Chains A and B, each alone.
Chain A
Amino acid sequence: MASITPTLRPLACSKSILRRIRQQNTAVRSMMTTTYHRTGFVPPPPIPGAPHVLRKLKAIAPLPSAANKIKDPVKAFQDDQISVLDPTGARTHLFSRKNPESAKQGDILLVRLKNGDPFAGVCINIRRQGIDTGILLRNQLTRVGVEMWYKIYSPNVEGIEVVQRAGKRARRERLTYMRKPKHDRGSVQNIVLQYQRTRGPASGSTAVKVQEGLKGGRRKSKKGRK
């Protein structure tokens, strides 16, 4: 009995109970003659007044985990998606770093879409994010600079062609300096038309279609509205 319980607090006050327990534990510890071994569990001395309850905890087996089945889930998902959206692997090969004939920054690329007009432009950025890999193409339409990001694995993208390779390897990865008028390539339409003419009448018709599409687009959209 180290100290008398103060009577200023109510009897059921947890603070005073805890204080009492602490004092008893220190008293018991100072009277100890044996040392506890780490391996054996020895229950703490019983607190006078506290009910004696010994609960047996039920051991639950660990839940089945998928972590061991798939070591790198993100990569597995990306590969799975790429195998669906690019089964031949041609698109991946076109932008692969290991491919010496790949499409790089500085090249002029032509993107053909399922829904929409084909867009050509200088590739100024390639953002590699697995399935979300995108290319930034810059062109000038009616003297207004336009930049478009295209996801290369998008099902809307029918095909990507390299119209013209960069003469010299660009000295940096991101060619955003091309937005400045000093370095701006301007319109790549002439280069694209030349390319399509040299390709032959098969793709030459696409060029004609594009030209006519610009004029006929007005009529088409008006009809479509009704």
Chain B
Amino acid sequence: MLNCIDNSGAAIVECVKVLKMERHAKIGDRIIVVVQKQRSFGPESGPGASAQTSAANKVRRGDMRHAVVVRTAKKLQRRDGSVVKFDDNACVLINKTGEPIGTRLNSVVGIELRKQKWSKILSLAPMHL
């Protein structure tokens, strides 16, 4: 279960498959996820505004999408010997061609994305480490 940090509408997604590899996904790897929890948009998600929220959400609960891992709670070693570890696991939803579904990202991402050629996601991020 990962946090989804873009504004696509998903809050928590569950990883169901790691693509192209037989190991655990690291930062920058592509995975297939199923949306488990939708992001509530505060007062908009009241009883009378369900139409609005569903328009703002690009994905709904139960949707299966591709995603890119951007933060792992597992330590990741870099070439200079430094090791990075985040407090949670997070991903960004993308479509089949690799373009992010959301338009904005919320929090910090790992710079391993640059090596894996996810430059669009890296540029959307407010901070990268």
Q: Which residues of A line the B interface, CB within 8 A?
A: 115-117, 119, 132, 134, 141-151, 154-156, 179, 214, 217-219, 221-222, 225
Contacts and interface: CB of A to CB of B under 8 A. Distances in A.
A146 B70 CA distance: 13
Contact of A217 (B71, B90, B128): B128
A147 B110 CA distance: 12
Contact of B81 (A116, A151, A179): A151
Contacts, number: 72
A142 B108 contact: yes
Contacts of A119: 129
B81 A141 contact: no
A149 B80 CA distance: 11
Contact of A141 (B82, B83, B119, B127): B127
B55 to A, nearest CB: 27
Interface string B71-86: 1000100001111111
A150 B86 CA distance: 15
B82 A142 contact: no
Contacts of B107: 141-144
B123 A218 contact: yes
Contacts of B98: none
Interface residues of B, number: 25
A149 B83 contact: yes
A151 B80 contact: yes
Given A142-B106, A144-B108, A221-B114, A214 B80 contact: no
B127 A147 contact: no
Question: Which of B87, B124, B126 has its CB near the most chain A CB atoms (within 10 A)?
Answer: B87
A145 B82 contact: no
B127 A214 contact: yes
B117 to A, nearest CB: 8
Contact of B119 (A155, A179, A225): A225
B88 interface: yes
B82 A149 contact: yes
